[in-house]
Structure 1
Amino acid sequence: MNILAHAFLGGADDDLRLGGMMGDFVRGAPDPSLPEGVRRGIVLHRAIDTFTDRHPAVVQARGLFQAPFRRYAGILLDMWFDHCLARDFAAWSDIPLEEYSDGVRQLLRQRRALVPERMHGFIQYMEREGLPATYADRGTLGRAFIGMSHRLSRENPLAEAMPVLLALEEELWRCFRAFFPELLAFAKGHW
């Protein structure tokens, strides 16, 4: 799961949502000086990633990717699932996607002092691109894959991923619809 899903799966608790969004930017044990709810959000982020990676529908979806994309299937699915959530957000939330997205960015601005330094550049990118709402747009998603391809240290095919994802779109939507309700129930168990 990516930034939209991790925020959403933190529920209405700002600390859990913030920690969930910070999870990919924190190495090792969460800083004990962080508020307890933020630390719990980081732990929840990791539990969500583990649940997702082990879910049979996600394991099956990773198997749909051929080389050289199979090696990057986890990254591709994380971002694609944010695309699915964004496109279908009204089915999961009473808050309109744009309003929710604005709230996510506002939370990051308000609590910036708690956010790891390595996340600050990503927050600027979110502001510039209107994320996470614009993950609903395939063009934004394609540009995100191109940008990510440049940030990885080794040569990779991420910049060419969109046609592959679009060819698998029907199967990937089925996967998302099969596992996301279970993931939401799992996350709610940690609130």
Structure 2
Amino acid sequence: MNWLAHVTLSPPNCEMQLGNLLADLLKGRKWPEMSDDLSAGIKLHYRIDHYTDSHELWKRSCRRLSERGYLRGVVIDVVYDHFLTKHWMNFATQSMRDFLDDFYVETEQHTEGLPDDARAFVESLVESDRLGRYGDPKSIHLAMARIDERLSERIRRRETMTQYIPLLVDAYDGIEEDFLEFFPQLMAHANAAEEPKAMFC
């Protein structure tokens, strides 16, 4: 799953949300001041990813794009955030705007002890309201283009994220059906963790 899903599948605890958001960027790094909540959020991130990557509905979404492809799963993760935005009130009792505003305000109190690159990432994310833009298909295209910029030359020679856009347009409705069936199952899995329950009902 992508950033929005990781934040919203966390319990309503900002440090756990940040751990869930930043797990890939931190790549297993630890430091003396790391809180138990941040560590628990990182563990929840990998729990979510493992469940997602092994789930038949997520795999079916990937196959709707292509039978093969290194970046198919990354495309689906980003697009699932789009569908989460589109269908937010199917899963939550609080509006997405209120949820994100609360999260953004709380991050100001919890980023001080983060490594410099993680703190800069969170500050940029909040300033640009990147989590709030997934509802706009143009923003999905921009997100995919940004990922392309970070790809190694070796991967770009094989494929790019933006090459999937025409395939995504054709498969849009089917992937949306997959998401609507899959996400309640992912919510239940995330809420079954030992940590406090996530914000989704």
With normalisation by structure 2, the TM-score equals 0.85
Q: Are 2:169 and 1:170 aligned? A: no
**Deviation of the 1:111 alpha carbon:** 1.3
- CA distance in 1 between counterparts of 2:165 and 2:121 reads 21
Deviation of the 1:65 alpha carbon: 2.3
1:126 is matched with 125
Q: For residues 30 and 56 of structure 2, what CA distance do their matches in structure 1 show? A: 29
Task: Give runs of aligned pairs for residues 25-174 of structure 1, distance below 5 A.
Answer: 25-28=25-28, 30-31=30-31, 33-66=33-66, 70-154=69-153, 155=156, 156-174=159-177
1:189 match: 192
2:198 is matched with: none
1:12 matched to 2:15? The reply is no
CA contact (8 A) 1:22 1:115 kept: no
Q: Deviations over 1:124-166 (max 9, x none)?
A: 4423432211111111111111111011113132133333212
- Partner of 2:173, secondary structure, is helix
What is the CA distance between 1:96 and its match in structure 2? 1.2
How far the C-alpha of 1:121 sits from its partner, in A, is 4.3
Give the direction of change, closer, same or farther, for the CA distance of 1:169–1:14 in structure 2 (3 Å limit): same
- Per the normalisation by structure 1, the TM-score is 0.90
Q: How far apart are 1:44 and its partner, in Å? A: 0.4
Pair 28,124 (structure 1): closer, same or farther in 2 beyond 3 Å: closer
User: Unaligned 5+ residue runs, structure 2?
Assistant: 196-201
The separation in 2 between residues aligned to 1:35 and 1:133, in whole angstroms, is: 27
Q: Is the 8 Å Cα contact of residues 83 and 141 (structure 1) preserved in structure 2? A: yes
What is the aligned-residue identity percentage? 23
**AA aligned opposite 1:165:** L
- Paired residues of 2:48 and 2:190 also in contact (CA < 8 A): yes
What secondary structure is seen at the aligned counterpart in 1 of 2:94?
Answer: coil
User: Aligned to 2:59, what secondary structure does the other structure show?
Assistant: helix
After superposition, what is the alpha-carbon deviation per residue over 1:35-65, rounded to whole angstroms, capped at 9, x for unaligned?
A: 1111011000011000000011111222222
Partners of 1:117 and 1:152 lie apart in 2 by: 22
SS in 2 for 1:28: coil
Measured after TM superposition, the shift of residue 109 of structure 1 is 2.6
Per the alignment, do residues 86 and 115 of structure 1 end up closer, same or farther by CA in structure 2, a change over 3 Å counting? farther
How far, CA to CA, are the matches of 1:32 and 1:50 in structure 2?
27
2:183 to 180, 183, 190: 180
